[in-house]
Amino acid sequence: DSGVTQTPKHLITATGQRVTLRCSPRSGDLSVYWYQQSLDQGLQFLIQYYNGEERAKGNILERFSAQQFPDLHSELNLSSLELGDSALYFCASSVRGERGETQYFGPGTRLLVL
Amino acid sequence: AQSVTQPDIHITVSEGASLELRCNYSYGATPYLFWYVQSPGQGLQLLLKYFSGDTLVQGIKGFEAEFKRSQSSFNLRKPSVHWSDAAEYFCAVVPYNTDKLIFGTGTRLQVFP
């Protein structure tokens, strides 16, 4: 158990819908990362937050957005969902979000878009 | 182009045999290097990492990795594989000019009794 929690574990929805994935980082970690794991793209970094502020952006679609709240939990919002958005979405956390810090991964949310 | 390559998609070994998983990177400056393991239904767990110094790095679960600058490689090894090591293994880098992890495509390890 990494100490990072993600809800829900599974999500099934339809094309065009919007969903919210939630992540609670390890106690004391200020930085949260979101990753997408899909069969065709592999594991890709989406976005990073540090203490409520966006720090880095990766291959995140405009239909996707995220935020980190004052209590440091984070949400990833996916809208206008397409079949290709079906994937495993991971959240990770680290203490300061600095280069080389160990990132601790949650168990992921498996999203299926029908 | 900058990339992380894991040339072996799938490897099968017998329990007790030795293991080597290959990883090559293509970056101008040596990045930070990592190996993660993903068991079915689980998140990723860090096995070991290399920043600088001794090129042979010890990790958890009996794994080690060796950094070879001349070959731009960071191969993961284990002298004797256990059935519980069956999982997917990812090599990852943090390039010098960023703090985000870039993952390879992964190697799925199957262990036969």
Q: What is the pLDDT of residues B38-96, one digit of tens each?
A: 988 788 999 999 988 899 999 999 999 999 999 999 999 999 999 999 999 999 998 88
Contact between B96 and B31 under an 8 Å Cβ cutoff? The reply is yes
- What lies within 8 Å, CB to CB, of B104 at 6+ separation is A42, B4, B5, B6, B23, B90, B91, B92
φ, ψ for residue B62, nearest 5 deg? 80, 10
Q: Count of A–B CB contacts within 8 Å?
A: 54
More confident residue, A1 or B14: B14
Q: What is the pLDDT of residues A49-91, one digit of tens each?
A: 999 999 999 989 999 999 999 999 999 999 999 999 999 999 9
Q: How far is B1 from chain A (nearest CA, A)?
A: 17
Residues of A in contact with B90 (CB under 8 A): 43
